[in-house]
Each structure stands twice: as structure tokens, then as C-alpha cells.
Structure 1
Amino acid sequence: MSQFLNASDAARRLGISTKALRLYEQRGLLAPVRSDAGWRAYGPADLERAAEIVALRALGFSLAQVARLLKGDASGLEPALAGHEATLEARLREVVAALEGVRALRGDLARGGAPTASDLARTLVPTPGLHLAFELPWPWGGERFELRDIRPLTYITGPLGSGKTRLAMRIADELDGVFLGLDRAADRALQSKIELTVGLLIQDGATDTPALRALLTGLEASRPVVVDLVEQGLDRATQEAVIAHLRRRGRGAPPLFVMTRSSSILDLDALGPDEMVLFCPANHAPPFRVAPYPGTPGHEALASCLATPEVRARSEGVIAVRR
């Protein structure tokens, strides 16, 4: 058993959590052997397979897509790769622009010129993305809130009564965006525009329901969209298919904010560079960004707010009220 690793060591080598390894096993993607004491043991073949899963997840594939790809089924691969290609092209344009700026500075130096500090800062520091600044609504005390370098996909979460819905609505107002509440309904005028997406999601394991169509038509807005509990009315497979689709939107799409408490939507082991998490604490301290790494500030509290769709279904419809 010298070539085998326990779950903690295997997860550390792969750069993921032990929870992710257990999830891969639950989905039939991994089958580690058991030691005489009943502990999971991961051999070279398990680690190679797990590394493939991690790489595919980093490309934005859902676990259902990963399962099909590992079986040699390439259906649904084209739109996923197209979305990843668009993201890479956007990053490439940023790198090319920075490279051209550095070359211009070197040219100035060769001609005897000296760049100023502001010239260097503009060239060497990435241009900040969209940012927000406003006073927080109730239940906060009007504290100043700033959100810089907004990513294409932002998750908003927190325990019941933490104020995350009010924060989401305020963000929608500040961005002149659209807020999709829980009472959303499908826009019949947009049905034809979402048929291709519905078909792709069904292929990825989703169930075609009014809730899914209401969500997709709401996302067709050309402005930033903020969604209240994006998982509302969607089963586990549909949630996983939807979030995999949303993660492939790319940097050119309007910012999207999704409220969630589902671990199938907010998978902390699968967050990419174009995603960020906003956490609203239970004690009504100001919301803050949480990095998806164990041990970072807020990570443990964030993880405790997330649950599987089956567990979340027990509290569906429960709201926090102020007496």
C-alpha cells in the first residue's frame, strides 16, 4: 500500500478538498480501495483519474458532463469549449494590450525618455473592472460598501436573515440591472431564444420545467442580472447543468449575480478566476468577499451556509422576518 495515499494526502496533492473527492466517489467517477481499517486509499490510477476530473471542472464542465467525457461521450463538448475559448481570448487581449504598453515604455527609454510613475502604473497594473460603492441598506447601519473588479459571475450567500436579498436588490439598482425575484415567470416572447439552451441543458441532465424556462428567459436581459435563489424549483441535475452553463458565459457578458445556498450551485472546489463570492454574516457585519480556500477569513462560515438540494428542500419557502 506504499503507493496509495489517504484522502487528506490525495486531496492535498490534487489541490482540492476531501469533500470534493467524496463527491466524485458518490457520482461514480472514482472508486478508491479501502484499507483493512476501512479508510479510503487512492492509488496512482485513482490520482490520475481525479486529476482529469479536476482539470475538466476547471474548464467549466459539470459533473454530468465530466462523467460522459470519461466514458468517451463527447456530446455537449462544443458549447463548453466555445465558452472557454471566448474566456481565453478575452484574457489574451488583456495580455497583448499590456505587452504593447511595456514595449512602448521600452521604446521611450531607448530614445532617452523616462516614463512617469503614472505611466508605469497604467501599463503594469491591470485596468480595474466594474466596481460599485454605496451605503448598505437595512439591516446594516448605512455602512459604506465597495465592490471592486466585479467578475462576470458573483455568488451572494449567507444565513437566513443576513440581509442578502436586500443587498442583491440594492446591487441591481446600482447597476441599473434586472432583479429576478422568486415569483419569476417565463417570458413567452423570449421562448424561441432559449430553445437551443434548453436543449443543451437537457442533454446535460436538466429537466425542462417552467422554473428553468423562467430563469433562462430572465437571463436574456442585455443588462446586469441579479437572481434571487437561482436554484428555486430546480432539481440537483438541473442546478448542476445551469451553473455549468452560466460559468461559460465569458467576460464579454453583462455581470451576473446569483443568490444561492445550494452546494450544487456554489461549488467551492470549482470556482474559476471569473467568479467571486459575497458573504453576508449572521451578525450583520458588512458583506465581504470570501476566497474559496479553506482557512481563509469567512470560508468556514460560508461552507456552513451551503447544503445539497435535498437538504435545502427541507427549508424551501422559509423566510426570516423582523418582529
Structure 2
Amino acid sequence: MRSHASFLNSAEAARRLGISPKALRLYERHGLITPDRTAAGWRTYGPDEIKRAGAVVALRSLGVSLAEAATILNGDGTVLDRVLAARQAALEKQASTLAATVARVHYARSELAHGRMPSLAELNDVPPPAPPWLSVDLPWPWNGERFDLFDIGAVNYVVGPLGSGKTRLAHAIAKSLDGAKFVGLDRAVGGYAQARMDADGGLRRRVDAVLENLAAEGVPQTVALVALVAAFEDREPGAVVIDMVEQDLNRRSQLALRGLLRRRKADAPPLFLLTRSNVILELATITPSETVIFCPANHSLPMQVVPRPGAPGYEALATCLAPPEVRARTEGMIAWMPGASQPGASVTGAAG
């Protein structure tokens, strides 16, 4: 005996599937689903039909026609591979065309910023964009969505409010790059700097030279500062990813660190720095060798933000940055957190 509670009417089924009741009737006319009928003649959808209709919705989202969906659901899996191969080829062609157009628009805006109107010949000569410098399958809370990073600088900042997933993004970046090193919040107590300098005499000499100059400027030498200087001066191949770079640093130390970043050589391994300090990341003075990656609070995909008022994402980015005094006062505080059932939920600043 079936449970009527598990059967849905047309409106409920459509709402469950995220489609319209009209789409459900279309699926029925094509023989894709066969709803039951009540004694009064109303359509009713049980678990099996909801599952089958959900498969149709998924196939349609991939560009599969209703006729092709019927063949696939009746057991011919070879049709799905053939259809998806054609769909992929068409989408890649569209993506290539769109990327080339974006490159021309970017060039035109750059020329306009310098007071020039580019000619049609110049626009036609703009080369297509290179493949992404980095492609990452993002972890929770993005659940496997792809993030492509086309431009990186000598220094790359990763910014976002607490709970936005920026630490998880940083870990994913470090795992995706050959030879990359992740420097976590335990750097001040975990012996990170000492171990690296013991293994590399050249690194120790560079660190000692930097620390001597900073001491002459009145910058206090702390374990946290030494660890960061060691990470900055490391010349081993591979990017260096550093969690919350301002951790345990006062304003004077952060200003000194900012000066080191500005003097960083272009051929040094790239740095990825998580930060929410407006001393470390001063938007008004950012250089062309620096890029900014922003993780929105609503868990939309991370985005590269042009540090210019009015640019997409700029205002949200600016509101994430605060002076060292505010950052110290609000350390570990979070205004919103995912439900306890979500993996990795945390109320601390270290969760990113």
C-alpha cells in the first residue's frame, strides 16, 4: 500500500524539481515520465517519477534534447557520451570566442585609460588570452566548482570576510601548484623558520640581513616576523601561500612587512597572502605586480578584483579590510556561520 504523503501534485513536484508544471506535462507528452492519477483525475508524482524527472532536468541542463533524454533513460548510454562530446565542443568554441572578445575589450579599456581610441586593426591584432595560470577544483563551500586564475603577480592577496572560505581556497591553491608551501598560523610556534634556515645557510644570511635593517628602523623582532621574513626570502622553486599574514604583528611590523613586499623581486617565487589588514593591503597604493583575489561572503565563486573604486567587487573588498587595532579587537569573531551539519564549520578567524 503506497503512502499518499510521498506523492506530490503537479505544483509541488515542479517546485521540488525547480521547473514549471508546464515542463512536467511536456516530459509526460514525450513519454519521459508517467504520473499516477487520483480518483478525481489529478496527476500525482511518486518517488520513482520524481527521481526520473530529476534525471531529465539534469540531462536538459547539459543541453540534451527530450528525444535524446528518452533514449538515454531507456538504457542507451552511448547516446549520452556522443551528445555530451558535441555539447562540449560547441561550448568550448563559444568560450574561446568569448575569451577573445574579453581580451579585446580589456585592451580597448586600457588604451582609453591612456587617452587613446584603439583602431579596428589594433583590436583585431589583440592575441587571444593564454590558458589559465592556475585552475582549481574548489572545496566546500563551493563543492567542486572550477576557479581559473589568469593573472598572478609577485604578490597575490586573498581577501574575504570570516567564513567566506578563503583559507580553504588558499589550501586548494597550494595543493594545485607544484612545489608550493603553505605557511599556517602555527608558524610562530612550530619552528618553521628555524628548520628552513638550519637547512639553508643562504636563507639564514638573507633573513639576518633583513632583520638587521628592520631593527635599525625600530621594528621589534618577534617569532612571527622572523617566520614571515624567512617565507619571503625563501628561494626554493614554488609559490608560498601564507595564512593571515598580519597574525601577531603590530602596526609597525605590518608597515615594515609592506615595505618588504614592495621591494620583492619579480623573479622571486610568487606569494599568496591571506589578509584583512588595510596596512598590508593598501588599495590606494597597490602596484601592477600585485593582484587581489576576493572571496564573497555569499560563497559565490572567488573573483579577481581590480583595486579601483567602481570596479566589480571593489566595495565589498574594501569593507573587509581594517586597521590592525580593529583586526586585533575582532580576532576570531564571526557574524554568521554555516549550520553545524556543514563540514569544517568554525567560529574562529583561522577558518577563513
Name the TM-score, length of structure 1 as normaliser: 0.58
Counterparts of 1:131 and 1:272 in 2: how far apart (Å)?
20
2:221 matches 1:208:
yes
Residue 145 (1) aligns with residue 147 (2): yes
Report the AA paired with residue 217 of structure 1: A
Which residue pairs with 1:13 in the alignment?
none
1:156 aligns with 2:158: yes
Deviation, structure 1 residue 295:
1.1
Match of 2:134?
132
Q: Matched residues in 1 for 2:145 and 2:296: separation?
A: 14
Distance 1:191 1:289, change over 3 A: same
The alpha-carbon deviation at position 272 of structure 1 amounts to 0.4
Give, in angstroms, the shift of residue 129 of structure 1: 9.2
Is the CA contact 1:290–1:298 (under 8 Å) kept in the aligned structure 2? yes
Deviations 1:79-113 (A, max 9, x none): xxxxxxxxxxxxxxxxxxxxxxxxxxxxxxxxxxx
**1:206–1:239 contact (8 Å) kept in structure 2:** no
Q: Quickly say closer, same or farther: Cα 1:277–1:205, change in 2 above 3 A.
A: farther
After superposition, residues 1-323 of structure 1 pair within 5 angstroms as 125=127, 131-176=133-178, 177-184=180-187, 185=191, 186-188=193-195, 189=198, 191-219=204-232, 220-222=234-236, 223-318=238-333, 323=340
Structure 1 residue 294 displacement after superposition: 0.8
Offset of 1:251 from its aligned partner? Answer: 1.5
Structure 1 letter corresponding to 2:184: G
Superposed displacement of residue 126, structure 1: 9.9
The verdict on how the C-alpha distance between 1:237 and 1:314 changes in structure 2, with shifts beyond 3 A counting, is same
Where do 5+ consecutive residues of structure 2 fail to align? 1-123, 341-352
Distance in 1, Cα, partners of 2:338 & 2:205:
39
Query: Do the aligned residues in 2 keep the contact of 1:129 with 1:149 (CA within 8 Å)?
Result: no
Q: CA RMSD in A?
A: 2.4
CA distance in 1: counterparts of 2:218 and 2:142, whole angstroms: 40
Contact 1:132 1:148 (8 Å CA) reproduced: yes
1:265, distance to aligned residue in structure 2 (A): 0.3
Q: How many residues align?
A: 203
Bigger RCO (CA 8 Å, 6+ sep) = 1
Q: TM-score, normalised by structure 2?
A: 0.54
**Which letter does structure 2 place at the counterpart of 1:161?**
G
User: Per-residue displacement from partner, 1:183-220 (whole Å, max 9, x unpaired)?
Assistant: 01432515444110112223344221111011122332
Q: Relative to 1, partners in 2 of residues 1:165 and 1:242: Cα closer, same or farther, differing over 3 Å?
A: same
- Compared with structure 1, are the counterparts of its residues 192 and 148 closer, same or farther at alpha carbon in structure 2 (3 Å cutoff)? same
Which structure has the greater CA radius of gyration? 2
Secondary structure, aligned partner of 1:208: coil
Higher mean C-alpha deviation, range 242-251 or range 228-237? 242-251
Distance 1:231 1:126, change over 3 A: farther
Bigger CA drift: 209-218 or 265-274?
Answer: 209-218
User: SS of the residue aligned with 2:136?
Assistant: strand
Distance 1:127 1:284 in 2: 27
Give the Cα–Cα distance (whole angstroms) in 2 for the partners of residues 228 and 321 of structure 1. 21
1:21-66 alpha-carbon deviations (Å, 9 max, x no partner)? xxxxxxxxxxxxxxxxxxxxxxxxxxxxxxxxxxxxxxxxxxxxxx
